[in-house]
Amino acid sequence: MNRAQRYWDAVEVGAELEGFSLDITPRRLALQVSGSQDWYPVHFDAAFAQKAGHTDVFVNTGFLQAALVRVITDWMGDEGFLKRLRFEMRRQQRPGDTMVCKGKVTARYERDGEALVDLDVWAENEREGVTTPGTATVSLARRP
């Protein structure tokens, strides 16, 4: 995919990253479990998940990580480089939820000749609010 390039010189602190939303459906969960090969039953077997103390099945770590990375890479463009991502899975994304992933620029600075931007990124849903807060640092190209 050829994304529009984000240049460090044009980034403003406080700017929002566009983000996206996904409906969390039983089919999507089945596909993500199959694709990731994460066969831990809390991600596909409701009875097992409930016996383990959960309300229902829920998306796995890799799915959430990929969603947050998508927000960042869609925003930064092909010449950007994701240097660091940290996130916490505090609440769940379950069937029936619409997961919304967003971000915001929190800092813009130079270090050792690199043009860096810090971001807050997160996943949320209407049922729980923010479920997965995170932070990231990206290196961006400078305007030619």
| Listed residue (102, 119, 141, 97) closest to 12, CA to CA | 119
| Cβ atoms within 10 Å, residue 94 | 21
1 — pLDDT class (breaks 50, 70, 90): low
State the pLDDT at residue 2: 57
Distance CA 117, CA 86 (A): 14
| pLDDT value of residue 144 | 80
Average pLDDT value over all residues in the chain: 95
Residue 55 pLDDT > 90: yes
How many C-beta neighbours within 10 Å does residue 51 have? 11
Partners of residue 119 on adjacent β-strands:
105, 136
- pLDDT tens readout for residues 83-125: 999 999 999 999 999 999 999 999 999 999 999 999 999 999 9
List beta partners, residue 102: 122
Count of residues for the chain? 144
Q: Nearest-CA neighbor of 134 among 77, 60, 43, 72?
A: 72
What mean pLDDT is predicted for residues 40-45? 92
pTM, to two decimals: 0.93
